[in-house]
Amino acid sequence: MSNEMFGPGTPEELARQWQELEDDKQDALTRIRSEKYNFKEGWEKAILTCRNCSKNDAVVYDPDRAERHARGEGLVQDIWAEAPQAYREKMIGLRTGMWVCEDCWENICEKQNT
Ligand SMILES: [Zn+2]
């Protein structure tokens, strides 16, 4: 291994590079946590059925936020600002009863593109 791989190699430079790696790791962890969206105390569970393929999928949600959404106090992207898009789709489905699973969304998008 040559020193060139690590840039100039001064202690300050190495410390900065190390910090960048740490920041990336934190970003990745944050993303993974929000995608999992694990059950929290006081949350409720609902079953959504895909309108296209009739597949069922369970979803957990914060009833307070769902109520705010149902009252029209904000858009789904405001109320679930930190949630991934697939989760927001489920929250819309919960309110409207219209939900299409991710597999079907992909199929629909593919068809539209061809
Ligand atoms: Zn489906």
- pLDDT value of position 14: 82
Q: How confident is the model at residue 12 (pLDDT cuts 50, 70, 90)?
A: confident
CA of 12 to the centre of ligand 1 (A): 53
pLDDT at 1 over 80: no
Domain boundaries, the chain: 3-35, 39-113
CA of 111 to the centre of ligand 1 (A): 14
- pLDDT value of position 40: 77
Nearest by Cα to 36 from 82, 95, 100, 94: 82
What's the pLDDT tens digit per position in 28-66? 666 555 555 666 788 898 999 999 999 998 888 999 999
- pLDDT value of position 101: 92
CA of 86 to the centre of ligand 1 (A): 13
CA of 1 to the centre of ligand 1 (A): 51
- pLDDT value of position 8: 58
How far is the C-alpha of 88 from the C-alpha of 17, rounded, in Å?
Answer: 36
Nearest by Cα to 64 from 49, 36, 81, 43: 43
